[in-house]
């Protein structure tokens, strides 16, 4: 029911493959909740727990107004069950035009966070690393400088246009854990752009766990004092050059639709819009 929520035909093979995937990834199917009527399953909801104390929700589709209310109750039951697993935030990504599911999740106490625009770009094979201004250098991530990365990411949230509703909702260590779980984490792809010893920007990349020829721009951020100095150009040029150097074909990312400066930056460098999703979230600490 959950796998077929986009209207596609689902076979026993699809289900078997998903069960194998769930076993491989450690997905807790014991958190699955269903509604039934007269012995027949009618609705289902499954949370996928993620590092960083979050969970991503997947559900079947309701087919009536009463069904919407029942599904909201099933989602609520799932959310309450994940609290026992140490989860703080439940989130869902919806088609912006899906008014039905928006009503369902709103009824289940989810709040709208942002509309995310998904972009993808293909760097030139000969894309070069950017020329750094005098006294600038790159610093890669290590356990020793984790606090410096954390502090720079926190500083980049100040007056940020990228999902500002999220600011303050998560501990920075949970944020880092979530970023490390995006794609395949490799510290050589996490970098600070420093002026001397002072971090001026942060760039987090990862090889995609879904596609071998793709890398993900997990996060790009600038503290307020770094903005307006074209340092975002340097960070993105570094990202595109890394993709080319590693022989990947594409760079993908998601950005808040209201973050116009970031969108202009990405479009200037040949990134193209693929799709968009509406991000909703429920703070389970308030449940």
pLDDT per residue of the chain (287 residues) written in tens, 0 to 9: 899 876 678 899 999 999 998 998 889 999 999 999 999 999 999 999 999 999 999 999 998 999 999 999 999 999 999 999 999 999 999 999 999 999 999 999 999 999 999 999 999 989 999 999 999 999 999 999 999 999 999 999 999 999 898 888 999 999 999 999 998 999 999 999 999 999 999 999 999 866 668 999 999 999 999 999 999 999 999 999 999 999 999 999 999 999 999 999 999 999 999 999 999 999 999 86
Looking at 40, 75, 109, the residue that finishes a domain is 109
- Answer yes or no: do 20 and 162 share one domain: no
- Answer yes or no: do 148 and 260 share one domain: yes
Tell me whether residue 62 is in a domain: yes
Measured CA to CA, the distance from residue 43 to residue 33 in angstroms comes to 8
DSSP string, 99-160: HHHHHHHHHTT-EEEEEEEEEEE---TTPPPPPPPTTEEEEE--STTHHHHHHHHHHHTTT-
Tell me whether residue 166 is in a domain: yes
- Answer yes or no: do 94 and 124 share one domain: no
- Answer yes or no: do 66 and 166 share one domain: no
Tell me whether residue 208 is in a domain: yes
**DSSP classification of residue 247:** T
| Predicted local distance difference test score (pLDDT) of residue 9 | 82
- Answer yes or no: do 70 and 130 share one domain: no
Mean pLDDT score of the chain: 94
| Maximal C-alpha separation, the chain | 73
Looking at 109, 128, 157, the residue that finishes a domain is 109
- Answer yes or no: do 171 and 101 share one domain: no
Please report, for the domain that includes residue 57, its CATH number.
Answer: 3.40.630.30
Tell me whether residue 124 is in a domain: yes
- Answer yes or no: do 124 and 105 share one domain: no
| Predicted local distance difference test score (pLDDT) of residue 172 | 95
- Answer yes or no: do 68 and 146 share one domain: no
Tell me whether residue 6 is in a domain: no
Residue 207: which H helix or E strand, with range? strand 198-207
- Answer yes or no: do 147 and 266 share one domain: yes
- Answer yes or no: do 124 and 231 share one domain: yes
- Answer yes or no: do 185 and 148 share one domain: yes
Under a CB-based contact definition with an 8 Å cutoff, are residues 203 and 78 in contact? no
- Answer yes or no: do 80 and 127 share one domain: no
The token duo for 161 is 């246009």
Q: Model confidence over 55-103: pLDDT tens digits?
A: 999 999 998 999 999 999 999 999 999 999 999 999 999 999 999 999 9
Residue 244 structural domain: 120-277
Looking at 69, 90, 109, the residue that finishes a domain is 109
Pair type for strands 214-221 and 250-256: parallel
Q: How many domains does the chain have?
A: 2
**Full-prediction pTM beyond 0.85?**
yes
Measured CA to CA, the distance from residue 153 to residue 243 in angstroms comes to 22
């Amino acid at each position: 029911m959950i796998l077929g929520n986009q209207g596609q035909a689902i076979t026993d093979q699809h289900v078997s493959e998903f069960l194998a995937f769930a076993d491989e990834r450690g997905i807790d199917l014991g958190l699955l909740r269903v509604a039934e009527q007269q012995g027949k399953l009618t609705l289902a909801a499954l949370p996928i727990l993620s590092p960083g104390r979050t969970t991503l929700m997947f559900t079947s589709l309701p087919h009536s107004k009463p069904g919407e209310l029942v599904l909201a109750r099933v989602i609520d039951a799932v959310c309450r069950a994940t609290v026992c697993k140490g989860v703080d935030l439940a989130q869902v990504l919806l088609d912006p035009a899906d008014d039905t599911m928006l009503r369902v999740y709103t009824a289940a106490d989810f709040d709208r966070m942002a509309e995310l625009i998904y972009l993808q770009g293909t760097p030139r094979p000969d894309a070069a690393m950017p020329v750094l201004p005098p006294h600038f250098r790159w610093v890669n991530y290590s356990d020793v400088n984790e606090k410096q990365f954390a502090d720079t990411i926190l500083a980049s949230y100040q007056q940020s246009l990228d999902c500002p509703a999220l600011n303050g909702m998560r501990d920075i260590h949970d944020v880092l854990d979530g970023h490390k779980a995006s794609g395949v984490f490799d510290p050589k792809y996490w970098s600070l752009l420093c002026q001397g010893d002072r971090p001026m920007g942060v760039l987090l990349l990862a090889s995609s766990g879904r596609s071998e020829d793709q890398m993900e721009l997990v996060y790009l951020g600038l503290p307020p004092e770094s903005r307006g100095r074209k340092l975002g150009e340097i960070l993105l040029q570094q990202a595109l050059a890394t993709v080319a150097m590693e022989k990947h074909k594409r760079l993908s990312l998601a950005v808040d639709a209201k973050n116009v400066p970031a969108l202009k930056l990405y479009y200037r460098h040949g990134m193209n819009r693929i799709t968009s999703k509406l991000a909703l979230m429920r703070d389970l600490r308030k449940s």
